[in-house]
Structure 1
Amino acid sequence: MSHPVRVIVAYHSGFGHTARQAHAVAEGARSLTGTQVELLPVDEPDDELIAALDQADAIIFGAPTYMGAASAVFKTFAEATSKAWGDGLRWQGKVAAGFTNSQNINGNKENTLLEMFVLAAQHGMHWVSLGAYGGWNTTTASPDDLNRLGGFTGAMAQSHGDAGSDQAPPAADLETAAHLGRRVAETTQQLVAGRKALTASPQPSADEQQAYVTATTTA
């Protein structure tokens, strides 16, 4: 039996709302058989945390959006990942995705997700989008729709400022988070299986590769 792929949800949460979203992401990833999931707060980005992330097949980044950008705690973590970046791009080829939560419906959450995307790109990772059609965008739609906030780069959530983490984010946003988690797990399994298949298959020799190039360019 093959080893399960390892997905780590690396997140910061200021008041518990983003943590609730993180748990929904993890539940979605766990729903796919053959996936091992771990939740890791990034509040203390020490060598132990970076070493744990080194072992992941996929990393899903999460942070609240404060004043239109990722929280300062998450940014400190992002800078700490330079240890993995500077040591020969240790995370290159891993799968990445992101999620965020804010008090306002918009709140410039897209900016936070793009920060995460750029972080993943610098590490040479493969970014996975949400992959869900936008909800709540017609007169017959509902705020209970999947992806009700219409985000596509990653999973978005909104929590009222006077609602505790036991009440927010709402169910639709948690379902959207779970959707992202499962999508990342599926993509990671496909990528890992493809790599194993390529390794197991005999590779063409240099002469065979040259013959193929000659045949295709002269046809």
Structure 2
Amino acid sequence: MNRPAVVVAYHSGWGHTAVLAEAVADGARQADATATALAVDNITESDWAALDGADAIVFGTPTYMGNVSAGFQTFAEATSGRCVQGSWQDKVAAGFTNSGSKSGDKLHALTSLVVLAAQHHMHWVNLGLGPGWSSTTASEEDLNRLGFFLGAGAQTDTDVGADRMHDSDVRTCRQLGGRVADVTAQLLAGRLVTSRR
């Protein structure tokens, strides 16, 4: 069977989300998928072809003012024709986001990504981790230190560059990429079995 093809479609205003996108792609590769991180602010026809040909799409955006960035929303709206045509139906989807504060209303941004996936009739994959850093014996170095379930949530101080992302958040996004690759492989294997009936 072919390796799952995962595309990480992201917008990054200051480079932080780009670092997380590469971590998601790296995690997918470590789980034996092919993976590409694709910035959506300068999307080309070959980028659209990669998205259309992917088995899974992981959406990534900074959280600005409690929602996805304008750059990501522009991309989301540009997918409307594919939504009507059902081009991404039954692909796997997942998402991640980053903001300057610990909460930053990131859950709202993740929910927007879920709705986008649902409109395309995609299969959403959650983070698959319990909350880290939630007891006296825990640490901010735990995976999922911010305690998200719907997708991966990251926090970066607003006055630091993308080279100073929190290691736990990068590792959490890598974990998300691996989970997406594994779930996608399972779905593809199941389709292969049912197609032989």
TM over 0.5: yes
The equivalent of 2:150 in structure 1 is 153
2:82 to 71, 76, 84: 84
Q: Name the residue aligned to 2:109.
A: 112
1:44 corresponds in structure 2 to 42
Cα distance in 2 between the residues matched to 1:53 and 1:76:
16
Aligned to 1:199: 195
Deviations 1:18-56 (A, max 9, x none): 1001111111111112x1111110003454432221100
1:1-219 superposed matches below 5 A: 2-33=1-32, 35-87=33-85, 89-168=86-165, 170-201=166-197
5+ long unaligned stretches in structure 1: 202-219
Q: State the secondary structure of the residue aligned to 1:166.
A: helix
The answer to whether the Cα contact below 8 Å between 1:50 and 1:81 also exists between their aligned partners in 2 is no
TM-score by length of 2: 0.97
Separation in 2, partners of 1:3, 1:22: 23
* Alpha-carbon distance between aligned partners in 2 of 1:163 and 1:139, rounded to the nearest angstrom: 28
d(CA) in 1 for partners of 2:48, 2:78 = 8
Q: Deviations over 1:71-128 (max 9, x none)?
A: 00000000000121122x1111000000000000000000110000000000000000
| Count of residue pairs brought into register by the alignment | 197
> 2:60 & 2:39 partners in 1: Cα distance?
9
Which ranges in structure 2 are unaligned for 5 or more consecutive residues? none
Which has the higher Rg, Structure 1 or Structure 2? 1
Q: What TM-score do the two structures reach when normalised by structure 1?
A: 0.88
Q: Which amino acid aligns with 1:131?
A: G
- What is the letter of the counterpart of residue 65 of structure 1? T
